[in-house]
Amino acid sequence: MSQPILLIAIPLGLAFLSIILKKIKVPLLVLGLLFSSMLVFFIEKKSYIIGGFKPPFGINLVVDDYNLYFIIIVNVLFLVLVLANLSAVKPMATVLLVASAGLNGLLLTGDLFNLFVFIEIASIAAFILLTMDKQFLKVFHYIIIGTLASSLYLLGIVILYAQYGTLNMADMSGLIDGGSITPTIAYLLIFAGLAVEVKLLPFNGWVKGVLETASAFTGPLIGSLYAGVMLVVFGRVFGGVLNLSGTMVTSLTIIGVITLLAGEFMAFQSKHLRQVWLNSSIAQSGLAVILFLQGLHHVAVLVIVANIISKFVLYLVSGKIAAVIGHDKIADLKGIFMNKKALGIAFTITSLSLIGLPLFFGFFVKINILIALFQSSNMWIPALVLIAALIESAYVIRLLVTMWQVGEEGEKPETIEKPTFSLKVGFVTCAISIILGLMLLVSGVYPDLVINQSVKAGNVLSVNDEIQVFTMEGGLE
Amino acid sequence: MTITMIVVGLMALSLVTYVVSKMSKGLGSVLTILGPLVALLFFLLEGSGIASGSSIGILQFGATKLGWFFSVTMLIVYGCVAFFNPYWMKKLVHPSAYNMLYILSLAGTIGMFFAVDFIVLFIFLEIAVFASMFIIPFGKSRNAAVVYFAMSTFGSFAFLYAIFMMYGKFGSFDISFVLGQLATEPTTAIWVIILMGIAAFVKLGIFPFHIWLPMAHGNAPDTFSPILSGGLVKIGAFIAIMVVAIAPTYEVLKNSYEVMGLPILIYIVLIIAAISMVVGTLMAIKQDDAKKLIAYSSVANAGYIIVGIALNDQLSLSGAMMHIFAHAIASAAAFLSIGAVSYRTGTTKISELGGMIQKMPITYTVYLISIISMAGIPPMAGFISKWLLFQSLASHGLMFIGAAAFFGSVGSFLYVFRPLSGLFLGQLKPQHNHVKEAPIFMVVPMVILSGISLFFGVLPNGLLNFIGKIQVELGVEGITTVDTAIMGNNGLLDPTLVFINFGLGFVKAFIIFMSLSKSRKVGLMDTYTAAEFVYDPNVYHYAKSYYAPIERLYEKHPDIVALYKGLVQRVVDLGRLLQFIFFKTKPGTTALFIVLTIILVLWGEKIW
Amino acid sequence: MIQIAGLILILIGLYGLITKRNIIKMIIALNVLEIGLNLFIVSVGYVQDGIAPILTEVNNSSGLIFVDPLPQALVLTAIVIGMGTTALSLAFARKIYATHQTFDLNEMGVEE
């Protein structure tokens, strides 16, 4: 019952079934996702052999501390997302099942080539899902770049295969640590391939076109779930398998830093809600990549978790707002939350967590990032991270103030009439946003569980006994 | 009651207030009065030896006299200002959120003053900042909140970086331990001092970080401006005391180059403080909005506080602390009186008001007392603190700083009289004929604050003795008092005697005034126009060209706001440029970037 | 030798992707790149004088040299995936043509 292969096989099987049984597509989808979200709670942490060949000869799926919690988060959020957009998913039910299989595969697989296959499955599903937004040219951009990226990735792993004669992650990791040659070009090709998916600058030309018009459905899916899963994969490959050293780390870190700063700069000048979030996701990806490259896996995991949850809510709400209002130009969204306070509070909590204010989960992420960076005696990166966070705080607060308040500059609000329109957003969306917001609030007051889990996750990639984390209970550990 | 209980209780109360306010706005606002007052009661009953209480997780507090002093000051301000809240419930856009954030910002400040650990301090600091930040847009400006938060976050992050620099060296967040170790690492120590100093400057509104004060204080809801000016900026003073007095700054800097017998860094700080006094004064003089005017005067007063703290000796530190207290009380009272006028008339612009003394005499008296204290005239508390500061400046022989301080004092006469004559005196506008005195519950807290200003101006020794104890706690020689007199370096000051003399003079003048024949009341227009026809009544307003000759001297001054605007514009431009470069619609461009990046990173690497 | 040919094809594909503005030509360039990649992968598994790695009655001795079978399996998968992507991108090309009446990105104007 607790075979993780079912997380891939069941959605794939149901996908085929849903082509035949067109009438009950949506029930099949919900059933499949419900099954996956239940199953994830019963998986044991070990390596699962597929097809009878023992690794490194056969393909294996790995469940460990690193991916287990992401599997849970992604599956549950996927189900939640489908439930929130039940009316919109009908034409895409089959593709969504494929996407679910692809994402689970990406998280679970322990084989580099298998990873390539799942990247392709997941991206093809994403391409088709993005047609919902009717931006064919922009998705075409994504297709070309995405395919190019996976080709580069494939080239990279083939070079590694030629070098080491294996494609199994664990096996490869051992061989690389023992080997004397560093196939730099292979590392770089793999980096380029994954960088396109994790949206690093300058590999991310597709992001803006795809995400700035994303609906309340595709936004959270691509901007939160896909982005999070791809970062997890990046961490798995670059944190756990490939052993970078020397100038490579420096130059790739510089790419990460440029991404972080440029993302925040671009977000600061953005005038549209979804454009802000997409640029902010770029920046957060840059941050996670920096942390992975610096070997600070546990905080990178924290960044990813925080980013998945907060971006999920932000894209969801922004997409709904854009659907109701017809646009998402921030200047025209004055006082939009005044008649929809619950949604507004959820949105506010999430964005405050994003900028790392105390009482919210993001604060502990920020503090632990700084602790980890200073422990590895970095001086410049934390300064740059703080500058990025400063810019981020400014635009997020500007946005929140606009969305809560009416009135031009210099006008007293009491003299202005409250807006009478109501933001017609479904109950499900509100409930989801509030629940996720409350989770960020609760883990902001008691973050110990999440942080301890992330330490365990980080230790899967590379064991580090000297990790110090800051939690609510007992302070430093 | 322990500190932990009070802080956690206030945090819980903020949530309760929100729920209660949702049911009844009035009841919620009454809670905002009770919260600070009850907390104040506990602090006063337990005294400065209040138990710190057991820790909850990382939330650990330690009772210090310094924290107690700051908390009590803060609670007096919060408690008195809260009386205004019920009257503003109808005016605010989000009254429940206002009540919640009001208490939350209080909890943040109190928690911060007693933190034993830097992270806890930072948590509460940020809570106080973001709670207050969300209240500001309830007023007149949305941008003000963003500017306030951005500036404040800049300061907080400088502080955070300093905390982590120390953590990187000493592996701990414990305030007393880490600051005690600082002397062993001089290079780190200097950076820490500079960064924490920047944080203090930003929170206190010292030049060139002062631009948020007029924006935030001037545009916040009238009930919150007194909190910002009287309360929250004093967080900066707390940080400054921490940097100079708790951290071994003078010991770290003892080998550095000296100017006038002071380490160069300290002297630079003094110069910056002096610039603040001058800039704050000059800018305050030309303001038409009474709230912006007091906000700029806070900039000038922050300069005095920094001078006192930076010199860190017996007289200056006690002067600084006295000034923190006196200015908190006086500026809160001044803002409240302006708020009361605004409550009745709906404006704070001097040019739109006039003759309010006839309708609101008590408010006028409160304003008068508070500006006397702010300008440093006996017999108010502000005089004592300025006297101490001048004593210290004189004994150090710091003539340029002293000159700036004198300039600030003289200038303060100029700017405090502008609202006095334009807003309260002068001719009553016809549309304000039906204005009444502020409601009784608005008058009471204002009178209490004025009473405090007067009381500690006449009998400051109780407070000064306590400040002396704080100084001993901080390792500085405590201020000494004899009976009712304060010991200075070159003589002593007996405020009680001064008051008695003042009082006798006042009584004499009053008797003469009463014994002479009564003045005849005439219509206001008679005196002004001398029977001529008034074409433009505005020309005859007191505020019209009030200080035109002085303003003309510096009307073409460079504007620091332009610098910040330029900086923001650069960020925007850079963002646009990056977006233009990297987000082309053509996939080929992205492919080119990918190839180029790979080549660039491979440059000089061993490919195999 | 064949490896170099594969790499050259990859570079040609990249060149086409970067320089061409026509959607169909870009898809073709992508395909050239993929073919080059597949060639490269197969060449990695090639062993001099090796025989097909199939278990038969005739060649049932452990002394024989086999070519590496894994790259061939990889290539099969890669070809299938490449075909899927090509089909999908062609479908997109058709949709784009329907809206813009052209395949040339330069002629579509700026979409903002």
> In this predicted model, what pLDDT tens digit does every residue of A412-461 receive, in sequence order?
766 666 666 667 777 888 888 888 888 888 888 888 888 888 888 888 87
Span C73-83, average pLDDT = 89
- The tokens describing A209, both together, are 């076109």
Residue C47 has pLDDT above 80, yes or no: no
Instruction: Flag whether residue A20 sits within 8 Å of chain B, measured between CB atoms.
Output: no
Taking CA–CA distances from B589, the nearest residue in chain C reads: C18
For chain C, the chains sharing at least 3 beta-carbon pairs closer than 8 angstroms are: A, B
Measured CA to CA in angstroms, residue A200 lies from A175, A188, A191, A213, B573 at distances of 28, 13, 10, 20, 21
**B338 and B222 in contact (C-beta within 8 Å)?**
yes
SS3 A64: coil
Decide if A411 touches B, using CB distance below 8 A.
Answer: yes
- B191 by Cβ neighbours in 10 Å (0-12 / 13-18 / 19+) ranks as middle
Residues A155, C40: C-beta atoms closer than 8 Å: yes
| Lowest-confidence pick of A195-209, A396-410, B336-350, B525-539 | B525-539
pLDDT tens for residues A369-392? 888 888 887 788 889 999 999 999
| CB contact (8 A) between residue C14 and residue B588 | no
Residue A145 with chain B: CB contacts under 8 Å: 587, 590-591, 594
Q: Do A137 and C111 touch (CB under 8 A)?
A: yes
Cα separation, B256 vs B241, whole angstroms: 21
For residue B174, the cross-strand partners are B117
- Residue C95 lies in domain: 2-48+64-108
Residue C68 covered by a domain: yes
Q: Which domain holds residue A268?
A: 5-476
CB-based contact (8 Å) between B122 and chain A? yes
Contact A473, B57 (CB under 8 A): yes
Please give the span between the terminal C-alpha atoms of chain A, in angstroms, as a whole number: 37
> Is the Cβ of A120 closer than 8 Å to some Cβ of chain C?
yes
Q: Residues B298-309: pLDDT tens digits? A: 888 889 999 988
Taking a C-beta distance cutoff of 8 angstroms, is the pair C24, C86 a contact? no
The answer, yes or no, to whether residue A473 has pLDDT greater than 70, is no
Nearest CA-CA partner of A81 in A17, A35, A33: A33
pLDDT number for residue A419 = 66
Contact B138 A357 (CB under 8 A): no
pLDDT of residue B57: 75
User: What pLDDT, on a 0 to 100 scale, did the predictor assign at position B257?
Assistant: 83
Q: Provide the whole-model pTM.
A: 0.90
Q: Identify all chain B residues contacting C110, using CB atoms and an 8 Å cutoff.
A: 585
**Residue B289, φ and ψ in degrees, nearest 5:** -85, 120
Using the beta-carbon criterion (under 8 Å), do B585 and C110 form an inter-chain contact? Answer: yes
CB spacing of C26 vs A138 below 8 angstroms: no
Mean pLDDT over each residue of chain A, to the nearest integer: 84
- B588/C26 CB distance under 8 A: yes
Report which DSSP code applies to B387: H
Q: Residues B363, B365, B368, B371: is their CA dihedral positive or negative?
A: negative
Average pLDDT over residues A196-204: 86
Contact C108 A137 (CB under 8 A): yes
Distance of alpha carbon B151 from alpha carbon B159, whole angstroms: 13
CA nearest B450: which of B360, B369, B357? B369
Kind plus residue range of the DSSP H or E element containing B488: none
What is the rounded average pLDDT of the residues A156-184?
80
A-C CB pairs within 8 A amount to: 70
Phi-psi domain of A60 (left: phi exceeds 0; alpha: psi -120 through 50; beta: other): beta
CA distances A9 to A100, C77, C109, Å, are 10, 18, 44
Tokens (6 digits) for C41: 């992968």
- Provide the 10 A C-beta neighbour count for residue C101: 9
Nearest Cα residue in chain C from A131: C92
Would the CB atoms of C33 and A148 count as touching at under 8 Å? yes
Which two structure tokens, joined as six digits, stand for B416?
Answer: 């405090």
d(CA A309, CA A444): 13
Strands B481-482 and B262-263: unpaired
Give the torsion sign (CA, B129, B134, B140, B142): positive
Overall domain count for chain C:
1
- Taking the C-alpha atoms of residue B418 and residue A120, their distance in angstroms, rounded to an integer, is 73
Query: Which among C18, C105, C111 has the least Cβ separation from residue B591?
Result: C18
The listed range with the strongest mean pLDDT (A118-122, A200-204, B600-604) is A118-122
ipTM, 2 dp: 0.91
Task: Give yes or no for a contact between A361 and A238, defined as CB atoms under 8 angstroms apart.
Answer: no
Q: Cβ contacts of residue B383 below 8 Å, gap of 6+?
A: B373, B376, B377, B457, B495
Nearest CA distance, A44 vs chain C (angstrom): 30
Tell me: pLDDT of A39 over 70: yes
Which amino acid type is present at position A436? Answer: L
A418 touches chain B (CB under 8 A): yes
Residue C35 has pLDDT above 60, yes or no: yes
Q: What is the mean pLDDT of chain C?
A: 83
Those of residues 568-607 in B touching chain C at CB distance below 8 A are: 585-588, 591-592, 595
Q: Is the Cβ pair A184, B605 closer than 8 Å?
A: yes
A 319-338 residues with CB below 8 A of B? 338
Q: Are A222 and A211 in contact (CB under 8 A)?
A: yes
**Mean pLDDT along residues A395-408:** 84
Structurally, chain A folds into a number of domains equal to 1
Chain B positions in Cβ-Cβ contact with residue A138 (cut-off 8 Å): 585
Contact call for C40 and A140, based on CB within 8 A: no
Q: Where is pLDDT greater, at A232 or B92?
A: A232
Domains of chain B, by residue range, sit at 1-116, 117-504, 565-602
The C-alpha atoms of residue B75 and residue B404 are separated, in whole angstroms, by 32
Average pLDDT over residues A41-62: 77
Task: Locate A69 and state its tokens.
Answer: 């919690």
Residues 181-240 of A with CB under 8 A from B: 181-185, 188-189, 192, 196, 201-209
> Does pLDDT of A145 surpass 50?
yes
Tell me what pLDDT residue B142 has: 82
Partner-chain residue, chosen from B119, B140, B575, that has the shortest CB–CB distance to A470: B119
Q: Which of A155, A163, A196, A329 to mutate to test the interface with C (most CBs of C within 10 A)?
A: A155
What tokens appear for B45 in the block?
């009953």
Mutate to test the interface with C, among A148, A203, A270 (most CBs of C within 10 A): A148
Candidate from A144, A148, A158 with C-beta closest to C41:
A158
pLDDT-derived band at A174, boundaries 50, 70, 90:
confident
3-class SS of residue B122: helix
pLDDT (0 to 100) of residue B228: 87
Which has the minimum average pLDDT: A103-107, A143-147, B400-404, B472-476? B472-476
C56/A contact by beta carbon, under 8 A: no
The pLDDT > 70 percentage for chain A reads 94
**CATH number of the domain within which C29 lies:** 1.10.287.3510
Q: In chain C, what is the straight-line distance between the N-terminal and C-terminal CA atoms, in Å?
A: 47
Distance (Å) from the alpha carbon of C80 to chain A's nearest alpha carbon:
10
What is the pLDDT, as a whole number, of residue C32? 92
Is some CB atom of chain A closer than 8 A to the CB atom of B149? yes
Q: What is the pLDDT of residue B159?
A: 92
The full 3-state SS of B212-251, as one line of letters, equals: HHHHHHHHCCCCCHHHHHHHHCHHHHHHHHHHHHHCCHHH
Check residue B211 and report its DSSP letter.
T
How far does the CA of residue A393 sit from the closest CA of chain B (Å)? Answer: 7
Question: Chain B contact for A299, CB < 8 A?
Answer: no
Residue A253 C-alpha, separation from nearest chain C C-alpha, in angstroms? 26
Best C7, C18, C105 member to test B by mutation, with max B CBs in 10 Å, is C18
Run means of pLDDT, 10 residues per run, chain B, 608 residues: 84 88 85 87 82 77 86 90 85 84 90 88 90 85 86 91 88 84 84 90 88 86 86 89 84 80 86 90 85 88 89 85 90 88 82 80 88 82 86 84 87 84 78 80 88 86 85 82 76 82 89 83 62 67 77 82 89 89 82 86 71
Length, in residues, of chain B: 608
In order of A108, A166, A234, the CA distances from A239 in angstroms are: 16, 18, 8
